[in-house]
Amino acid sequence: MRLADDRRGRVPFALVAVLLLVGSAAVVATDRPRRYETPAVDRVVGETVAAAQTALRQAAVVAARESAANPVVAPVDTPYGRVVNDSSPFRDALRIRASLLARSYLSRIGERRGDVVSSVSLPPVRSPADLRAAKRRVSVERAGPNGTALRVRFRGVTVRAKRDGRVIAERRVSPVVTVASPALALHDRVAAFERALNAGPLDGGLGRRLAIQLYALAWARGYAQYAGAPVENVVANRHVEVATNAGALAVQRETLGATASGGERAVLGAAARVAATDLLAASGVDARWTDAVVAAVRGASSSTGAHRPVRSDGHEGPEPVSVRVNHTADRALVDVLGTREASRLSTAVDRGYSVDARLFVRARRTGGSTTGATGATGTTAIDPGGNWTLVDRRRRTSRRVLPGGGSAPVRVPTGWRAFERYDRRVVVTHTTVSRWRRGAARRVTRRTRTERHAVSIALAGRHSPDSRAPRVGVAGVYERGGPLDGPNLAGVPAAARRRLVASRGGPDALARRAVRGTLDREPVRLAGARPDGLRAWLRRDLVALHRRVRSTAVALPRGAVATYGVNPSTRLAARLRVRRAELLDAPTRYAGVADKVRVAVRRAYLDRVLARLDERAAARDRTRGNLNEALDGTGIGSLDRLRAVRAVGGGPSPVERPPPDRGLGGPLALAVETEPAYLRLDPVARERLGVAGRGTVTPLDARNTNLFTLPYGDAADAVTRGLLGSERVSLRTAALILRAERRATGGRGDRDLRRAVSASTDRVRDRMATVLAAAGVGVTDETPGAVVDRGLSRWRTPAGRALAVTNGSAIRAVVAVTPGVSDAERAALAARLEVAVSETLASPSARPPETAVAGSVGVVRAAVREGATRAAEYGVNRTLSRFNRTFDAIFVGLPVAPVPGYWYATLNVWDVHARGTYERLVVRSRRGASGVAYVRDGGLVRLDVDGDGARERLGRAERVAFETRVPVAVVVPPGRRGVGDLDGDADERSPGYG
């Protein structure tokens, strides 16, 4: 029996037979060689092969259509299911279907020419091993332009010719058929769609699109909140729902080449509802930021365009932050000033007005002679010879100093200056007298040896040997003049003469000691007289330098600073090192000793600033490590990943280029259907989706966690404690909560929290009084403590006073009312107070315990929720005033590198986790007569493999599901309320999450 050929691509059978014989047919010998006995055998075999080709083509078309309708995506653990390979289950199932259909179709083929009958067959399948062999006999691949067709190769097809029941010819062929079915292409596209849905923000796909949309929304709403709009939740799950669906549609368009019917309409409708919800809370507020929200929401469904973070003033991108040396300069100033008895300034003065004085000596022998005589014989020998016995011998040396010296004066080393020189001649006479005895006879012998020495002595001094100032020479160093018309070191040469010459007997005595080798040449340290007003002059100069250094700034991207992508202290240190020579202001020659001391003090100050900046940079690196550890604990990863995602979120949306759909057999003419078309967070009845089963499903689950919400609440607990390392809160945080509670409750506040805040503030107040006492304040009737109290008197409440001491305004107020302090001294006093307050605020004694704050946090949260509810229900204008009073009292977010009075920026992070499932996804192609539909509905795929009438389980058509996670970081300038969720729900979960 002959199967009908494919009407759409009819090929002459003779030509097909020739092609098969020449190209793709393999002839395999049987057990015994056979020869065709007549031309009729050749003809019948050729016609059979051609018929087989047609049957195999039909088998490939049907196998592709059925495999697409029931795709095996995940094999099951059954004997036949284990034949399907985990790495390519769809292809394996397609090969199995093609092999089984090919055997069925081939079994119907037969040709007869006279008494010659032909047949074609494939081995039967009766076991899993047979099925594995059948699968291996078939290979599939994409073919044609753009890979939208299907090429199938069948191996081991056996053609036999018989006469009278005896096999007279046998041939094995491996036909290759190419059909226009896009089944394999559709599967690959859906697989690409699923991979893109599960891609993270750094991998493209849904993750990247979700990052882009959420960053646009979060920045717009975050800056709106910072600017004063009553934004309760910066990132809510309603935003995640819209952005996820918009991103999924974009991924459909990019990978499948079409989008689900009704999907874009549903996204735009949901976006409008979300925008309306967001805008309701902003009624009566400057609406510039709302345009950004609407644009971001609408842009979520657009396939083009770029979304960058939006500032509250409507411009793209956050402005850079100008980071200054600020507090580090204050600490360095305090380091240098110290106390009057012990400070780097005093050390610089001592070194600048010090001179090392010493004697340099050159003594050399210029000649000598020896004479001798005996008392009896007159001989010159000291030993009389014979049997004389020495009775006594005495030696005597005399040194006579004469004026004048040699022609080679002593050399004074570089860096030393000779005050005076002394040249002397020293004559040294050595006399030896010996007494001898021989019996009763006595004899005396005498010998005289004379040495002549030339001695050159220099009294020299070396100015400020330990000074840190560059050695460029000092004009008139030993003469009066220069800054302050000071004495410089004019009196040092005379002091050196008294100390090293006169007190040792004068030049002659020094010459004698030099010849004897007993002259003390060690230097002595002498101090010059200091001019009146020197310290005040140096302090004024130092304060002026301090102002310049304090204002030194570098402009850095605020986001990079807030996410620790750049170390501002390192950049500031590099900037100061470049400007060091300019700031040091060292002349080519000092105008006087005071000028050199001025430069030395400046150098000591700059060294301390750089050392402090290096310490600050190291501390920031440690904080970065702590924050990395905390972020890793939340599952976000690291700061590097956060910055990378932030860069993706601030970049342009990817351009979607759907894959080409034209190929063999014409265009694919794709249509996509999903159930549901729009993934909602709320439960949906299965019957509404038109899928099997009862009950409800939640197509989309979402969770977004705000890391730094109301202080020490929800998910922020672990992060903040990891950073602070204690069970205490900052005084600023406690004061903000106290103030918020008072406003929320109409003036009432928790008594325990009020006492804790007041106690911590008192510790700071006492430390400020100590600083004033050390500065000499209190010599009048007013004590240092009274001065501090007078400065703090403008703040009436415990919360107000606490905030004043933490933001630096209390320091300025106290300095302003301190009596008897000059303008220059006020700057130094302010720096001392800044350092003292900073150190005190960092100590546990000035940090209220968490237990004192916990109860008030709940009260504030309740008040915020109540205000938000009333704003939504009764209109914003009626409740906005009270709502904002409570709202403004709250600070959320993580201040980056906070110090009294300033910080770099405020950072907050949302960890957004979305996962969804399409209960049913169908991708249809109208190519061909009946087209192809690829269906993923989670159904079980069964197939009668062994022909027993029962269908065996091969696998499942798993639903298209996805899961992605995106961290969203928002950075706002310092101050105000910060940025973050204020409704107390830092961990927002949809109904189906978990």
Q: What percent of the chain has pLDDT over 70?
A: 83
Alpha carbon distances (Å) from 633 to 551, 638, 895, 911, 973: 38, 9, 20, 12, 27
Q: What pLDDT, in 10s, does the model give residues 784-802?
A: 899 999 999 999 899 899 9
Report the C-alpha gap between 643 and 567 in whole angstroms.
14
What is the average pLDDT across 338-363? 87
What is the average pLDDT across 979-984? 79
DSSP string, 679-710: --SS-EEHHHHT-SSSSEE-SEEEEEEESS-S
For residue 614, what is the enclosing H or E element? helix 593-634
Most confident of 378-382, 806-810, 866-870: 806-810
> What tokens appear for 611 in the block?
């050392």
Name the region of 665 (left: φ>0; alpha: ψ -120 to 50; beta: rest).
Answer: left
Higher pLDDT, 327 or 658: 327
Residue pair 94/73 in contact (Cβ under 8 Å)? The answer is no
Residue pair 392/436 in contact (Cβ under 8 Å)? The answer is no
What is the average pLDDT across 334-361? 87
Q: What pLDDT, in 10s, does the model give residues 305-325?
A: 333 444 333 333 456 888 889
| End-to-end Cα, the chain, rounded Å | 60
> What tokens appear for 316 in the block?
């793209």
For residue 120, what is the enclosing H or E element? strand 116-121
550: pLDDT strictly greater than 80: yes
3: pLDDT strictly greater than 90: no
DSSP for residue 400:
E
Report the C-alpha gap between 691 and 694 in whole angstroms.
9
CB contact set of 264 (below 8 Å; sequence gap of 6+): 249, 301
Higher pLDDT, 953 or 631: 953
What is the average pLDDT across 507-532? 92
DSSP for residue 26:
-
Alpha carbon distances (Å) from 413 to 380, 459, 462: 47, 12, 10
CB contact set of 345 (below 8 Å; sequence gap of 6+): 336, 337, 338, 535, 538, 539, 542, 601, 604
934: pLDDT strictly greater than 80: yes
Q: Taking the model in full, what pTM does it have?
A: 0.75
Report the C-alpha gap between 324 and 903 in whole angstroms.
10
What is the average pLDDT across 274-294? 52
Would you tell me how many other CB atoms lie within 10 Å of the CB of residue 22?
8
676: pLDDT strictly greater than 80: yes
3-state secondary structure of 172: strand
User: Minimum mean pLDDT among 202-216, 372-386, 930-944, 945-959: which range?
Assistant: 372-386
Alpha carbon distances (Å) from 325 to 552, 585, 606, 829, 835: 6, 19, 12, 18, 14
Report the C-alpha gap between 596 and 128 in whole angstroms.
97
Pairing of strands 74-75, 952-956: antiparallel
Return the amino acid letter for 413: P
User: Minimum mean pLDDT among 37-46, 215-224, 529-538: which range?
Assistant: 37-46
Q: Residue 114: which of 74, 162, 67 has the closest Cα? A: 162
- Please tell me the total number of residues recorded for the chain in this structure: 994
63: pLDDT strictly greater than 90: yes
Q: What pLDDT, in 10s, does the model give residues 713-734?
A: 333 333 344 444 456 778 887 8
Q: What pLDDT, in 10s, does the model give residues 192-211?
A: 999 999 999 998 899 999 99
Strand order in the sheet with 952-956: 74-75, 952-956, 940-943
Query: Which residues is 451 bridged to in the sheet?
Result: 368, 428
Q: What percent of the chain has pLDDT over 90?
A: 43
